[in-house]
């Protein structure tokens, strides 16, 4: 799971929600922060934060809820 963003408050909140969802589901997943612009630009997004699961952009431009993140894994 990749969290795309500069490390702003919204990005940190997104990471927290992703980690909470992973914990609640009892699954194992590596969470990686991607903050380098050249790496972020490799994805088809217009705004951050964004969440990428297995190479697929699941959400961008807003902070997902924990429930939304959980749906990405089910």
Average pLDDT, rounded, for the chain:
95
Mapped onto helix, strand or coil, the DSSP state of residue 12 is: helix
- Spatial CA neighbour of 13 closest among 59, 46, 49, 41: 49
Give pLDDT, residue 44. 95
- Spatial CA neighbour of 21 closest among 66, 73, 72, 61: 66
Asked whether the predicted pLDDT for residue 15 surpasses 90, the reply is: yes
Could you tell me what percent of the chain has a pLDDT over 70?
100
- Partners of 3 in the β-ladder: 33, 51
Mapped onto helix, strand or coil, the DSSP state of residue 6 is: coil
* Average pLDDT of the segment spanning 62-68: 97
Give pLDDT, residue 74. 80
- Give the largest Cα separation in the chain, rounded: 33
List pLDDT tens digits, range 28-62: 999 999 999 999 999 999 999 999 999 999 999 99
User: What one-character DSSP code corresponds to residue 64?
Assistant: P
Catalytic residue among 1, 3, 4, 11: 11
Catalytic residue among 6, 8, 9, 31: 8
Q: Identify whether 8 is a catalytic site residue.
A: yes
């Amino acid at each position: 799971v990749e969290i795309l963003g500069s490390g702003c408050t919204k990005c940190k909140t997104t990471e927290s929600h992703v980690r909470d969802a992973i914990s609640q589901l009892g699954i194992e997943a590596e969470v990686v922060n991607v903050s380098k612009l050249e790496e972020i630009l490799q994805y088809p997004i217009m705004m951050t934060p964004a969440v990428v699961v297995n190479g697929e952009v699941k959400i961008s431009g807003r902070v997902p809820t924990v429930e939304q993140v959980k749906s990405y894994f089910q």
